[in-house]
């Protein structure tokens, strides 16, 4: 049996841990959504008013710009 002084702490842990996990998952999700929206907007602006033959090269350049620095060094 738990000591009476440990009951509030135990209840706090039983409530706080799941709440923290849910908040973290929500925060990661929202961060990912924000990054993807920004990426889509950059792509949309880059392709706006371009001719279809130019678009492949523009998309390749965007891919290089959005890659990690280590990936860029390997490609170059």
The residue ranges of every structural domain in the chain are 51-76
| This prediction's pTM | 0.66
Spatial separation of the C-alpha atoms in residues 7 and 15, rounded to whole Å: 12
Question: Each residue of 19-75: pLDDT tens digit?
Answer: 999 999 999 999 999 999 999 999 999 999 999 999 999 999 999 988 877 665 655
Q: Which H or E element spans position 2?
A: none
Residues with Cβ within 8 Å of 67's Cβ and at least 6 positions away in sequence, in order, are: 75
């Amino acid at each position: 049996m738990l000591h009476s002084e440990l009951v509030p702490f135990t209840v706090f842990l039983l409530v706080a841990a799941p709440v923290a996990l849910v908040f973290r998952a929500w925060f990661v999700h929202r961060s990912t959504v924000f990054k993807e929206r920004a990426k889509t907007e950059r792509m949309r602006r880059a392709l706006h008013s371009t001719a279809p033959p130019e678009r492949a090269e523009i998309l390749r350049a965007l891919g290089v710009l959005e890659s990690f620095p280590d990936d860029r060094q390997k490609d170059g």
